[in-house]
Chains A and B, each alone.
Chain A
């Protein structure tokens, strides 16, 4: 099976205030339809790794492939395009644009990609909201929603461009257990029914245990 995401010997050094090697040659891959979680103690570098994998951080050595294409060394505009097309990102905080309505927020990455007409994008966005059970909130401003609802909107936004992989940085970290379970089941559904790959950084052991594979990190390395 083709890996959707492949990291080869990713190494990262923080230079200030002191020189610290936060990532020491990380290599792994995520297959299509695989639901992978990354666990580890605070400061082990798992978030740093995720930002490198999501192409937002370019200051590293090693090689990163997404859909078998080398991402390392591409210019920023191209990386932005890769993020737009192939990666859906869900943060610990919802990170919705407060100026826009829920549906506008979901449509935003698709409008940027501009591959479909506005009607199709709107239709897609409603489909995603329906999938996440919040289509009735579509026209509200994102600030009027509850925390769990916001996170679901953020997931809908991550899904809008049919990305190759969804990455999450503790997406359930700020949610109560009921909402966390809901988000997990959505992720699970995406992996099994839609063959989507997921790579989620989490502190939550329960959450991690239910995923297909756990990558355990410690001190900048993969332990097992």
Chain B
């Protein structure tokens, strides 16, 4: 069978009914175009929100949690075994806030193949002083260059830079909310009162704005040595270790292993951000649902138009069959018409989707919550375009298949005799 001939007939049918063909192709075009815009935009937004939470969250967070000892003396005493024991007013054990043997532990963690990087942190509770006002604060003592390498912290530094902090021993990246409240600017000094009552003057080298007010009103970054000095502890005092993995999905299993191995509390990102994960997957689901609906609607449009076309082309079908085209040939003629519509509509849909994505990508979008974002987020992923075109072909194939089956089965005698 000659597909070129079938293709030629299909093309002639489409070209003689230009308006209908264009409308059908436009249906596909809008379906595919919106699908791509939706996916690119929704996933751009998702990515943005993911960055907001997930990128700056360590995959595994190691620290010592303050909690009551689970193995109370009475419970393990064999003399009371099997009896109902009530212990009132249990107090938490006095645990050290620093991680035992932190520096060798970090080196050990670094050697694990799954681990991308390890950053130490020293959290120092303190107050920001502004005249008579005291604001509660949390100074995060960090190795700022490592933080930058692993968590892109400079995305949230609205003034100044990480380099400035690394070069200034008594520098501070002040939370933007704190700066606003105390009317401080980069270059000013901020007074810090430590837990023990000492007062320090720190030089503001930059402003930190995470986008979440409760963090920005409290948290600031200082060099780790400074935090240790504020706490009056030695240089091997480290309160938290943040681990970043190559593959985030491995975090829960690895966290469990670390907790058991090092007798430490290890929280993985999935547990810490469970509701966030859910939100993210629901958003993805919604975008898929909407896109698939769009594509199905486009498919029905094609189905309708082809049905009409076949009704109009009954004579042609009869003639083709009378001069020796088989039912299959006729079926292929109509299927290839549908798929031609799908292909052309799909390709134009891709272009439409891409150009609208570019337009959205360049539309200004400024929000205080996201200091580094200037335009709407769009992701360009080839997979959306591949899915778009594949779906347009599959949908149009089925939209064409059922009407063309009708054409295949149609008896030429009925049509000729009906005249």
Ordered nearest first, which 5 A-B pairs have the shortest CB separation? A84-B324, A80-B326, A99-B12, A77-B326, A83-B324
Closest to A84 in B: B324
When distances are taken between beta carbons in the complex, the residues of chain A under 8 Å from B413 are 51, 56-57
Q: Are A95 and B319 in contact (CB under 8 A)?
A: yes
Q: Are A108 and B323 in contact (CB under 8 A)?
A: yes
Stretch touching chain B among A34-42, A64-72, A109-117: A109-117
Main DSSP-derived SS at the B contact region: helix
Which interface class (under 10, 10 to 19, 20 to 34, 35 or more) fits A? 20 to 34
Query: B416 interface residue, CB < 8 Å from A?
Result: yes
Query: B250 interface residue, CB < 8 Å from A?
Result: no
Query: A54 interface residue, CB < 8 Å from B?
Result: yes
Q: Are B319 and A96 in contact (CB under 8 A)?
A: yes
Query: B188 interface residue, CB < 8 Å from A?
Result: no
Residues of chain B touching chain A, judged by Cβ–Cβ distance below 8 Å, are: 2, 5, 9, 12-13, 15-16, 315-316, 318-329, 411-413, 416-417, 419
Q: Are B322 and A112 in contact (CB under 8 A)?
A: no
Query: A207 interface residue, CB < 8 Å from B?
Result: no
When distances are taken between beta carbons in the complex, the residues of chain A under 8 Å from B315 are 95
Query: A145 interface residue, CB < 8 Å from B?
Result: no
Q: Are B5 and A113 in contact (CB under 8 A)?
A: no
When distances are taken between beta carbons in the complex, the residues of chain A under 8 Å from B2 are 111-112, 114
Q: How far is the CB of A194 from chain B (nearest CB, A)?
A: 19
Residue of A77, A157, A169 touching B323 (CB-CB under 8 A): A157
Known interface pairs A93-B419, A100-B12, A111-B5; A81-B324 also in contact (CB < 8 Å): yes
What's the Cα separation between A85 and B328 when bound, in Å?
Answer: 17
Residues of chain A touching chain B, judged by Cβ–Cβ distance below 8 Å, are: 47, 51, 54, 56-57, 76-77, 80-85, 87, 89, 91-93, 95-100, 108-109, 111-114, 157, 161, 169
Q: How far is the CB of A64 from chain B (nearest CB, A)?
A: 15
Residue of A57, A76, A97, A113 touching B327 (CB-CB under 8 A): A76
Closest to B323 in A: A109
The total number of A-B Cβ pairs within 8 Å is 81
Closest to A57 in B: B413
A-B contact pairs, 20 of them (CB 8 A): A47-B417, A51-B413, A51-B416, A57-B411, A77-B326, A80-B325, A82-B324, A83-B321, A84-B325, A87-B324, A89-B323, A95-B319, A95-B322, A97-B9, A97-B319, A99-B12, A109-B324, A112-B5, A114-B5, A161-B324
Residue of B5, B13, B327, B417 touching A80 (CB-CB under 8 A): B327
Q: How far is the CB of B334 from chain A (nearest CB, A)?
A: 14
Q: How far is the CB of B144 from chain A (nearest CB, A)?
A: 73
Closest to B330 in A: A80
Q: Are B326 and A95 in contact (CB under 8 A)?
A: no
When distances are taken between beta carbons in the complex, the residues of chain B under 8 Å from A161 are 324
What's the Cα separation between A84 and B327 when bound, in Å?
Answer: 13
A56, A89, A92, A112 — which one has the most chain B CB atoms within 10 A of its CB?
A112
Q: How far is the CB of B411 from chain A (nearest CB, A)?
A: 8
What's the Cα separation between A82 and B318 when bound, in Å?
Answer: 16
What's the Cα separation between A210 and B413 when bound, in Å?
Answer: 28
What's the Cα separation between A111 and B1 when bound, in Å?
Answer: 10
When distances are taken between beta carbons in the complex, the residues of chain A under 8 Å from B419 are 92-93
What's the Cα separation between A161 and B324 when bound, in Å?
Answer: 11
Closest to A89 in B: B322
Q: How far is the CB of A12 from chain B (nearest CB, A)?
A: 11
Q: Are A56 and B321 in contact (CB under 8 A)?
A: yes
Q: How far is the CB of A102 from chain B (nearest CB, A)?
A: 14
What's the Cα separation between A109 and B322 when bound, in Å?
Answer: 10
Q: Are A98 and B324 in contact (CB under 8 A)?
A: no
Q: How far is the CB of B143 from chain A (nearest CB, A)?
A: 75
Known interface pairs A111-B2, A114-B2; A80-B324 also in contact (CB < 8 Å): yes
Q: How far is the CB of B355 from chain A (nearest CB, A)?
A: 34
What's the Cα separation between A71 and B94 when bound, in Å?
Answer: 100
A51, A81, A114 — which one has the most chain B CB atoms within 10 A of its CB?
A51
When distances are taken between beta carbons in the complex, the residues of chain B under 8 Å from A97 are 9, 12, 316, 319-320
Q: How far is the CB of B7 from chain A (nearest CB, A)?
A: 12
Given contacts A89-B322, A97-B320, A114-B2, 11 further A-B contacts (CB under 8 A): A51-B416, A51-B417, A76-B327, A80-B325, A84-B323, A84-B325, A95-B318, A96-B319, A108-B5, A109-B324, A112-B329
